[in-house]
């Protein structure tokens, strides 16, 4: 019986040991500035940029400076590193970048500046090329005082976005809307809409746009700016907007329009949404019907009373005339 109890409790004990230790992990305080760098270069051209790596701990941290390619695979702009050179993506730039120092030591509560030299090849395909230069500590981790666990270190880097000018083929700038989601019918506003802007060109773009809400008589109900976001080649970025207010009625048209690129090209889409507060409408209609019925009843009662009163007055007049006739006869 005791052996069975031990076998049952052992997985639970191991679970708590690993989970408690994992939850106690703390990353080393390493930051890189700037987080994103935009660089312009020509085929065969060379340039130099700098990156600062800051150590916020009380100890000297040793590590290496490396470069890798990255791609964007979701619609929120999350970079995914590709360190295998054999899997270099179409817009690779990691091989273009060389750090002046590859092994560095960062003093406690201080920073170092790393020079990065970028050399573009003579023949370049596509205008946009991307890489990340990152710092990776040599140590796997350090003891966290009072917690009996190891702190896992992570790679911290700067995204390098390179625009190649004067390439043999002109830069391809293509932007379009996709996956526009909005309700066809709503009882109450505001109208929530989300959509993707997809970059099918070969260079990163930062579109600027506006969303307008037009009512059924052509009047402007609401207007929102589409937030500026960088969209990488062959990737999409998701946007969410809320237009209008709670009390709305009728058919509304949502116009989405954005401009992008050096030539300021534009792209637009529109959708329609009905907003009908049907519960309130039913209550209002029923209230009106009830008021009409009540008013009609009151009017009918008033009319009936007038008719009865007129008949009573007529009868009284006839009786008075009869009495007058009788009095005349007696006098005669």
Q: Of 199 and 79, which is predicted with more confidence?
A: 199
* Contact between residue 184 and residue 273 where contact means Cβ atoms under 8 Å apart: yes
pLDDT of residue 135: 94
Fold identical between 26-164 and 175-276?
A: yes
pLDDT tens-digit readout, 167-203 = 777 888 999 998 899 999 999 999 999 999 999 999 9
Long-range contacts (CB closer than 8 Å, 24 or more residues apart) made by 72-81: 72/232, 72/235, 73/235, 75/196, 75/235, 75/236, 75/237, 75/238, 76/237, 76/238, 77/229, 77/230, 77/231, 77/232, 77/235, 77/237, 79/132, 79/159, 81/132, 81/155
Distance separating alpha carbons of residues 196 and 213, to the nearest angstrom = 18
Over range 69-91, report the average pLDDT. Answer: 81
Q: What region does 109 belong to: left with phi over 0, alpha with psi -120 to 50, or beta?
A: left
Over range 223-246, report the average pLDDT. Answer: 92
The CATH number of the domain covering residues in 26-164 = 2.60.40.10
pLDDT of residue 5: 38
Distance separating alpha carbons of residues 192 and 182, to the nearest angstrom = 6
Instruction: Report in angstroms the alpha-carbon separations of 78 from 65, 230, 236, 238.
Output: 21, 12, 11, 12
Tokens of 37: 């760098």
pLDDT of residue 120: 93
Those residues with Cβ within 8 angstroms of residue 150's Cβ, 6 or more apart along the chain or in another chain: 25, 140, 141, 142, 143, 144
Highest mean pLDDT of the ranges 225-234, 304-313, 322-331: 225-234
pLDDT of residue 171: 86
Over range 86-91, report the average pLDDT. Answer: 80
- pLDDT at position 288 over 80: yes
**pTM of the full structure:** 0.70
Delimit the domains of the chain by residue range.
26-164, 175-276, 280-332
- pLDDT at position 204 over 80: yes
Tokens of 177: 């809307």
Distance separating alpha carbons of residues 38 and 158, to the nearest angstrom = 10
- Collapsing DSSP to helix, strand or coil, 10 comes out as helix
Instruction: Report in angstroms the alpha-carbon separations of 282 from 3, 190, 246, 276, 288.
Output: 70, 21, 18, 11, 10
- pLDDT at position 32 over 50: yes
Instruction: Report in angstroms the alpha-carbon separations of 109 from 34, 56, 102, 106, 203.
Output: 18, 5, 21, 9, 38
Q: For the chain, what is the mean pLDDT? A: 83
CA angle 265/271/277 to nearest 5° reads: 145
Strand partners for 98: 117
* Contact between residue 1 and residue 22 where contact means Cβ atoms under 8 Å apart: no
The CATH number of the domain covering residues in 175-276 = 2.60.40.10
Q: Of 88 and 61, which is predicted with more confidence?
A: 61
- The pLDDT-based confidence of 265 (bands split at 50, 70, 90) is very high
Instruction: Identify the weakest region by mean pLDDT among 10-14, 135-139, 242-246.
Output: 10-14
Strand partners for 136: 64
Q: Of 217 and 328, which is predicted with more confidence?
A: 217
Instruction: Identify the weakest region by mean pLDDT among 136-145, 213-222, 259-268.
Output: 136-145
Distance separating alpha carbons of residues 235 and 202, to the nearest angstrom = 10
Instruction: Identify the weakest region by mean pLDDT among 7-11, 177-181, 295-299.
Output: 7-11
Task: Convert 120-178 into a string of H (helix), E (strand) and C (coil).
Answer: CCCCCCCCEEEEEEEEEECCCEEEECCCCEEEECCCEEEEEEEEECCCCCCCCCCEEEE
Tokens of 127: 């205008």
Distance separating alpha carbons of residues 148 and 70, to the nearest angstrom = 35
pLDDT of residue 39: 94
Distance separating alpha carbons of residues 134 and 63, to the nearest angstrom = 10
């Amino acid at each position: 019986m005791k052996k069975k109890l031990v076998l049952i409790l052992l997985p639970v004990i191991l679970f708590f040991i690993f989970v408690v230790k994992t939850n106690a992990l703390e990353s080393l305080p390493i930051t890189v500035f700037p987080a994103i760098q935009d660089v312009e270069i020509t085929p065969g051209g060379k340039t130099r940029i700098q990156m600062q790596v800051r150590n916020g701990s009380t100890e000297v941290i040793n590590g290496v400076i490396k470069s890798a390619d990255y791609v964007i695979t979701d619609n929120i702009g999350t970079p995914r590193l590709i360190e295998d050179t054999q899997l270099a993506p179409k817009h690779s730039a990691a091989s273009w970048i060389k750090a002046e120092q590859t092994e560095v030591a960062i003093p406690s509560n201080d920073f170092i500046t790393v020079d990065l030299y970028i050399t573009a090849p003579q023949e370049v395909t596509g205008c946009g090329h991307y890489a990340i230069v990152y710092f990776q500590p040599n140590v796997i981790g350090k003891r966290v005082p009072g917690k009996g666990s190891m702190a896992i270190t992570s790679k911290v880097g700067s995204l390098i976005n390179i625009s190649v000018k004067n390439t043999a083929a002109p830069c391809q700038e293509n932007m379009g809307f996709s996956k526009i989601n909005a309700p066809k019918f709503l009882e109450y506003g505001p109208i929530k809409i989300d959509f993707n802007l997809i970059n099918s060109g070969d260079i990163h773009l930062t579109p600027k746009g506006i969303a307008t809400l037009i009512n059924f008589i052509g009047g402007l109900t609401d207007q929102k700016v589409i937030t500026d976001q960088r969209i990488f080649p062959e990737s999409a970025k998701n946007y969410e907007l809320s237009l209008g207010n709670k009390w709305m009625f009728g058919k509304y048209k949502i116009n989405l329009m954005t401009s992008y690129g050096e030539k300021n090209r534009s792209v637009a889409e529109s959708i329609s949404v009905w907003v009908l507060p049907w519960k309130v409408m039913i209550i209002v209609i029923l209230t009106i019907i009830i008021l009409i019925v009540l008013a009609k009843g009151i009017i009918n009662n008033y009319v009936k009373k007038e008719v009865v009163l007129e008949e009573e007055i007529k009868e009284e007049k006839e009786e008075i005339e009869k009495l007058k006739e009788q009095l005349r006869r007696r006098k005669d």
